[in-house]
Amino acid sequence: MSNTNKEDQVTRLIASYARIKKVYSPVHYRSRIEPLFEMSEGGDGGPWREGQGVTHRDLHYSDWKDSDFYKVLLALEEVPQLTDEEWEARFGHEKEESSLSLWLNKIRGVFSV
C-alpha cells in the first residue's frame, strides 16, 4: 500500500471513530477502540470474531505500523502526545518517513472530536 493510501485510510478511520464517539454510548465507543490500544503496542487487536482464528490486525490492518494506531488514538485524544524523543524510543524501529511533528502539523485542525 502506498503511503498516501495509508494516510487516507488513517484519516477515514479517525473520522469513523469520531462519529462513533459522538453517536454511541461511551461503553460502545470504548469497546470499539480497545483493539487500537493493543495494536499501538504491537498486539493483534484480539480475534475479529470469536472462533474465527483471524485477528483484527490480520484482517483489516496487516500493513499498518504500531505508530499508525497511535496516530488514530492521538487524533481521538485518547493518548498523550509524545515528544520527538519519546516517539523515537517507542516507534523509531519503524523507520518513519516523517517525524511525529510533521504528521501532527499535517492533520492539525482537520478533525475536531
Segment 5-40, tens digit of pLDDT? 888 888 999 999 999 999 999 999 999 999 999 999
pLDDT of residue 107: 61
Cα–Cα dist 70/101, whole Å: 14
What Cα–Cα distance (Å) separates residue 92 from each residue in 7, 83, 85, 96, 100?
19, 12, 9, 7, 11
Beta carbons within 10 angstroms of residue 57's beta carbon: 21
The pLDDT confidence band at residue 44, using thresholds 50, 70 and 90, is: very high
Domain boundaries, the chain: 3-107
- Stretch 60-86: mean pLDDT, rounded? 93
Cα–Cα dist 13/6, whole Å: 10
